[in-house]
Amino acid sequence: MNSHMRALVIGGNGFIGSHLVDALVLAGRRVRVFDRGAELYRPPLAGVDYRLGDFGDAPALAEAIEGVDVVYHLVSTTVPSTSNLDPVSDIQGNLINTVRLLQLMVQKGISRIVYLSSGGTVYGIPDVSPIPETHPLRPICSYGVIKVAIENYLFMYQSLHGLRPIVLRASNPYGERQGHAGVQGVIGTFLQKIKSGERIEIWGDGSVVRDFIYVADLAGLCVKAGASEYCGILNAGSGVGHSIREVLNVSARAAEQAIEPVYKQGRAYDVPSIVLNISKARKELDWKPEVELSQGVSKTWQWMKTL
């Protein structure tokens, strides 16, 4: 794959996007970013072409995709926990705008797209663990329903227009530069509360198991995906499950503090255990996650202390 390949990262100033931009720059790619606002935690990078605009602004988007070889679609205007409150804006902000993006790509003859889907929400309550890509899709939140719909449109556009999509169903990414407003990831939220001395609340008894992937590992997979010829769906996780209680213990150890959480009533949409089977990504792209949980949480804590 030629190193002059130009990549557009939609959502490139966000948490995952900023790490993907780092990885693309490191791989010698020419990088353009399209996002609503600037990066929160650091100034713009030299040599990166930043375009600010709304994902719903078709003319701005059309201009941003001009002349690129691969589109990374990382933007989401909603998060799983609040998507059910306003499914209509989820449809407008994510589904309609993404279908418009696909139409623009067809018009401009750009075929390669890497789409960040959600391994945590598209499968619903799993029948088997770890979950393979072939598992039935039964999302129970609007966020997951929209992700599935977008995946279906991607493969429809592959059949009809020769689009070359690769869908990465990511588990729970965490790491430096993750927003910690409380809706975006339990690890960032725990560390933020430990740092500010707030009480930590856990929904249910802390036995809920999730698959956490360190953000640089996910970014590395995105780069490999975009440079590959593979089309289809790959799970993107660590392949290992950790309970919320375990995550709290790891976070407390990283911060060298003893933490006693408050347990609250469980939530209806919290599936008991979601761990992704990542053998397909290993096989197809020769990728594996490098950073295990305690190491990743320590790195995240070190970064957080600098804020």
Catalytic choice (143, 153, 157, 174): 143
Q: Could you tell me the CA-to-CA distances from 34 to 5, 63, 231, 267 in Å, in that order?
A: 17, 10, 24, 35
The span from the CA of 122 to the CA of 18, in Å, is: 24
The span from the CA of 251 to the CA of 264, in Å, is: 19
Reply yes or no on whether 263 is catalytic: no
Sign of the torsion angle spanned by Cα atoms 72, 33, 120, 146? negative
Note whether 262 and 202 are within 8 A (CB).
Answer: yes
The span from the CA of 185 to the CA of 189, in Å, is: 6
Note whether 55 and 99 are within 8 A (CB).
Answer: no
H-helix or E-strand containing 169? strand 164-170
Instruction: Tell me the two tokens of residue 114.
Output: 């890497």
Supply the residues annotated as catalytic. 143
